[in-house]
């Protein structure tokens, strides 16, 4: 270290220390009248994404856990279903085609009007209406019709037996008496929602923040955190700075910025495990990626743990399929060890011999293919480059290219894509859409045109029965088939990192989806937080 | 003067028509797919059937000219249409946000003009003096500094280190009532950053203009007649020295709009600039067209204003533009 660099380091350390001291002095409450986070029963969090709409009819809260709305059912911290607006879990007919829900009594919307079966029927029928611009309609693909049987019973009829249907009924219920009177796509309800949930939206200043107050008449008991604010701060650095200044009580942060809060007395770091995966599609219509030898070799050649350590700074796990390794649906023994020698052997046996430039060749076909990633997405870029470098060592030349979805989508049939996705709740959600051969090229479903009859059969079995052991067996088959013939190289499951002021008890995280919903993060159950009694 | 304003207003009509048509044409030609933008991440698991339905519902498959004509005729009757990206009527998007952007931009503009002019005059009095040297080099540095970076720096210094000013938002983060006092304190940093980023242009123009004017014969003559320095500076030199600055006023408006975009993002300011970018990348025709009309009108007005001021300051120019 030269004298100059020592001086620079010392100066940086000093500046950092000063910043920390300043933060400690101004914390809590840097606002002029000290409103920023001083009140014990108010919480302010910083989020990176602003919702397009707060209407459940357009997709908001479809995965449950909305602050404003309740679904018939809800997920608990372990992603098990529990009754919410329904009084109990649904009764499923023997053939799996009818789901009957008894509704909770005495629930009212935040405008005081009672919640009834009519609202449930209205919500589901409106979402299915072709005139409703909801991109999440496909989630309810299995639903044929929904009917009210009296004021407190709702009956869903399905087109085909679909075991994951109950998991779909976590979506928020909209009040018919408000939402039916206006344009479903652009009406005021999309920005001024009325629901039954634990919080009532008091203000949405677009581009700035969403403000909530506790619903004192909430059927689940009035929340202890009376005021809850979500500040929309797109830039990661600004979010970290405002958290440090005491302006925010919590925020989602990229792992490298969250590191700065480690060892900080006043803050706690939460790493939420997720179903959020990154994978490389291996299209069957490409001569190289369609070759099972190549697919298996890539699966073995790729160094997942290094990606987790280097790209995710440890906040994540190696992924071997859409199901994360810590899920109960994961098939033990399907982990693939990083083994370059084995990868080379697989290629040798499959007839891919090294050419003069080290790139393998089989029957005159060079082992090379393009790999696209979404331009501007640093995380995907890092994954793609690491993947290409691992593949190169085995003699496969992956050409990494950036593009927008408009550029990538028409090429998905033959070109590889670095994609992301993942939704917890049911193993059917990801696996069916990713792997079912009939969905090849259907929008963004089955991007790699994966086609494996054994997998198709298992996928149908998995959704047709409600018997958990049978379902587990079916998804075990899928995951084992993926070892023999991987249609995708799964790379990582990404943890989402949050830093929160240590002022409450009752914080936990839920398993999170790829989608950054509003209610992800430790505030998924903010209604259950209680302020710590430390401040006198 | 009134005739010039009237002529410009007439001229603005074809310009605005052309510009809106241009927006539709460019947006149509752009590679962005409005349906994908609308669907967002949900679109990544949507079926093709679902996406096709959205395509039809959003009306994005109609030909360019008919879409533009439909927008124009509805807009003239006061119906600006619905913004697909915001899921609400365009008129609502604009009324919710435009005021805050105008407040920010106007304050920043005032800061830039007043501070820039003031410093420019002071520096011109003693070219090469300490003030001139310090402010001059600072101005060149500022010109090169990205406004985004200035914003981060300001937050770090004023909000984090000193803890005297709020780091962002329109009001205190935990509060949801908008009071003038809160808005005033929250306005300080973003307006200062935006204003300071525009300041060098005004400073440099005024400094040069006034310094040149001080060298003119008329001013020398005034000095020779023994007029007070104050009178010479304000009465003679300033009048001709300010002229180039007046032209600058109008031409800085577009810069101000683009600068506001970055400032609004950094400070979570709920203005219209951020919506503009969203509208553009989402190919949200109705919102984009309405915002473009507003921006064009702002630029035309800015130019008109600077020409009018020029005419007032220097009667020789007159109002024939």
**Is pLDDT above 60 for B71?**
yes
CA-to-CA separations, A517 to A49, A513, A521, B204, in angstroms, rounded? 8, 8, 9, 48
**Is pLDDT above 90 for B125?**
no
Question: What string of DSSP letters covers B57-87?
Answer: HHTTTS-HHHHHHHHHHHHHTT---EETTTT
pLDDT at position A14 is 41
A contacts of B31 (beta carbons < 8 Å): 404, 406-407
CA-to-CA separations, B251 to A115, A277, A312, B291, B317, in angstroms, rounded? 58, 49, 46, 19, 18
Across chain A, which has 536 residues, the per-10-residue mean pLDDT values are 44 42 37 48 91 91 90 92 96 95 96 96 95 89 94 95 94 96 93 95 90 95 94 88 90 90 91 93 96 96 96 94 93 94 96 94 95 90 96 96 88 94 90 93 89 96 93 96 95 95 92 79 92 64
pLDDT at position B256 is 86
pLDDT at position A56 is 94
Which of B33, B81, B160, B183 has the highest number of chain A CBs within 10 A, making it the mutation to test binding with A?
Answer: B160
Higher pLDDT, A27 or B64: B64
What's the distance, CA B245 to chain centroid? 17
Terminal Cα distance for chain A, rounded: 48
pLDDT at position A120 is 97
A contacts of B34 (beta carbons < 8 Å): none
CB-based contact B38 A133, cutoff 8 Å: yes
Work out the average pLDDT over B103-107: 94
Answer yes or no: are the C-beta atoms of A115 and A194 closer than 8 Å: no
Answer yes or no: are the C-beta atoms of A65 and A170 closer than 8 Å: yes
**Is pLDDT above 80 for B91?**
yes
B contacts of A404 (beta carbons < 8 Å): 31-32
The b/e string for A56-81 (b: 16+ C-beta within 10 A; e otherwise) is bbbbbbbbbbbbbbbbbbbbeeebeb
pLDDT at position A31 is 37
Alpha-carbon distance A345 to nearest alpha carbon in chain B (angstroms): 36
Alpha-carbon distance A275 to nearest alpha carbon in chain B (angstroms): 15
pTM: 0.83
Looking from the CA of B243 toward its CB, the CA atoms found within 13 Å total 15
Answer yes or no: are the C-beta atoms of A297 and A343 closer than 8 Å: yes
Of B57, B156, B170, the CB nearest to A241: B156
Pairing of strands A81-83, A91-92: unpaired
- Three-point CA angle B249, B253, B256, nearest 5°: 120
pLDDT at position A38 is 53
Calpha distance A370→A416 (Å, rounded): 6
Which tens digit of pLDDT belongs to each residue from B165-191? 888 889 888 887 888 889 999 999 999
Which tens digit of pLDDT belongs to each residue from B137-169? 999 998 888 888 899 899 989 988 888 888 888
Q: What is the ipTM metric for this complex?
A: 0.78
Q: Six-digit token pair at B280? A: 């553009």
CB-based contact A36 B264, cutoff 8 Å: no
CB-based contact A52 B86, cutoff 8 Å: yes
Which of A191, A209, A279 has the highest number of chain B CBs within 10 A, making it the mutation to test binding with B?
Answer: A209
A31 at B interface, C-beta within 8 A:
yes
CB-based contact B50 A135, cutoff 8 Å: yes
Closest by CA to A147, choosing from A191, A192, A101, is: A101
Work out the average pLDDT over B86-109: 92
- List the helix and strand counts (H, then E) for chain A: 14, 24
Q: B90-125 and B273-281 helices cross at what angle (nearest 10)?
A: 120
pLDDT at position A534 is 52
Calpha distance A372→A358 (Å, rounded): 23
Where does the pLDDT of residue B64 fall: very low under 50, low under 70, confident under 90, or very high at 90 and above? confident
């Amino acid at each position: 270290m030269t004298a100059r660099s020592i001086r620079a380091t010392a100066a940086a350390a000093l500046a950092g220390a000063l910043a920390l001291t300043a933060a400690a002095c101004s914390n809590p409450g840097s606002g002029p009248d000290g409103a920023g986070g001083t009140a014990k029963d108010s919480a302010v969090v910083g989020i990176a994404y602003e919702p397009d709409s707060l209407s459940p009819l357009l997709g908001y809260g479809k995965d449950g856990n909305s602050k404003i709305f309740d679904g018939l059912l809800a997920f608990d911290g372990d992603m098990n279903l529990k009754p919410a607006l329904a009084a109990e879990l649904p009764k499923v007919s023997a053939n799996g085609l009818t789901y009957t829900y008894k509704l909770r009594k005495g629930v009212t919307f935040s405008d005081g009007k009672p919640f009834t079966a009519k609202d449930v029927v209205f919500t589901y029928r409106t979402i299915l209406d072709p005139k409703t611009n909801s991109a999440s309609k496909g989630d309810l693909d299995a639903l044929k019709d929904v009917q009210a049987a009296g004021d407190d019973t709702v009956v869903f009829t399905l087109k085909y037996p679909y075991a994951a249907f109950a998991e779909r009924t976590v979506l928020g219920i909209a009040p018919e008496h408000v939402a039916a009177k206006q344009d479903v796509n652009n009406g005021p309800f999309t920005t001024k929602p009325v629901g039954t949930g634990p919080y009532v939206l008091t203000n949405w200043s677009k581009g700035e923040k969403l403000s909530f107050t506790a619903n004192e008449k909430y059927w689940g008991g009035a929340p202890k955190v009376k005021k809850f604010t979500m500040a929309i701060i797109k830039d990661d650095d600004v979010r970290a700075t405002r958290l440090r200044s005491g302006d925010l009580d919590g925020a989602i942060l990229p792992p490298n910025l969250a590191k700065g809060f480690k060892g900080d007395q006043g803050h706690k770091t939460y790493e939420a495990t997720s179903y959020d995966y990154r994978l490389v599609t291996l299209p069957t219509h490409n001569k190289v990626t369609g070759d099972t030898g190549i697919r298996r070799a890539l699966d073995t050649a790729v160094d997942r743990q290094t990606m987790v350590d280097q790209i995710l700074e440890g906040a994540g796990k190696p992924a071997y399929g859409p199901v994360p390794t810590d899920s109960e649906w994961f098939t033990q023994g399907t982990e693939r060890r990083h083994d370059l020698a084995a990868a080379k052997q697989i290629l040798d046996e499959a007839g891919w011999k090294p050419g003069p430039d080290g790139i393998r060749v089989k029957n005159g076909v060079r082992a090379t293919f393009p790999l696209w990633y979404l331009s501007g997405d640093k995380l995907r870029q890092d994954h793609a480059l690491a993947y290409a470098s691992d593949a190169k060592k085995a003699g496969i030349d992956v050409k990494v290219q950036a593009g927008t979805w408009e550029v990538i989508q028409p090429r998905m049939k033959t070109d590889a894509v670095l994609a992301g996705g993942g939704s917890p709740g049911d193993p059917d959600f990801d696996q069916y859409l990713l792997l079912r051969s009939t969905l090849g090229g259907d929008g963004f479903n089955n991007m790699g045109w994966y086609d494996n009859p054994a997998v198709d059969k298992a996928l149908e079995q998995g959704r047709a029965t409600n018997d958990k052991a049978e379902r587990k067996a079916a998804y075990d088959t899928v995951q084992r088939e993926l070892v023999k013939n991987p249609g995708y190289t799964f790379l990582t499951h990404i943890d989402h990192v949050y830093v929160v002021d240590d002022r409450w008890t009752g914080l936990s995280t839920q398993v999170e989806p790829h989608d950054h919903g509003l209610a992800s993060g430790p505030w998924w159950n903010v209604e259950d937080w209680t302020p710590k009694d430390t401040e006198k | 003067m009134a005739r010039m304003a009237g002529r410009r207003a007439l001229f603005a009509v074809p310009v605005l028509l052309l510009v809106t048509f241009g927006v539709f044409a460019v947006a149509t030609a752009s590679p962005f797919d409005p349906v994908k933008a609308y669907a967002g991440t949900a679109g990544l698991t949507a079926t093709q059937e679902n996406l096709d339905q959205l395509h039809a519902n959003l009306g994005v498959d109609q030909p360019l000219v008919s879409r533009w004509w439909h927008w124009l005729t509805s807009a003239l009757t006061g119906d600006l249409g619905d913004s697909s990206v915001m899921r609400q009527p365009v008129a609502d998007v604009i009324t919710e946000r435009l005021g805050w952007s105008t407040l920010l931009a106007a304050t920043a503009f005032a800061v830039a003009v007043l501070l820039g002019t003031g410093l420019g005059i002071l520096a011109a009095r003693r070219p090469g003096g300490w003030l001139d040297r310090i402010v001059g080099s600072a101005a060149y540095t500022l010109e090169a500094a990205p406004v985004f970076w200035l914003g981060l720096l300001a937050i770090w210094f004023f909000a984090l280190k000193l803890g005297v000013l709020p780091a962002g938002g329109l009001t205190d983060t935990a509060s949801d009532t908008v009071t003038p006092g809160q808005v005033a304190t929250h306005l300080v940093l973003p307006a200062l950053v935006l204003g300071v980023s525009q300041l060098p242009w005004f400073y440099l123009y005024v400094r040069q203009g006034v310094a040149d004017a001080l060298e003119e014969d008329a001013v020398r003559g005034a000095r020779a007649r023994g007029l007070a320095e104050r009178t010479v500076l304000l009465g003679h030199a300033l009048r001709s020295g300010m002229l180039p600055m007046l032209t600058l006023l109008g031409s800085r408006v577009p810069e101000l709009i683009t600068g506001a975009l970055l400032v609004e993002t950094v400070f979570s300011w709920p203005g219209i600039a951020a919506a503009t970018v969203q509208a553009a990348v989402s190919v949200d025709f109705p919102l984009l067209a309405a915002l473009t009309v507003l921006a064009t009108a702002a630029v035309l007005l800015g130019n008109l204003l600077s020409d009018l001021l020029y005419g007032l300051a220097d009667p020789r120019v007159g109002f024939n533009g």
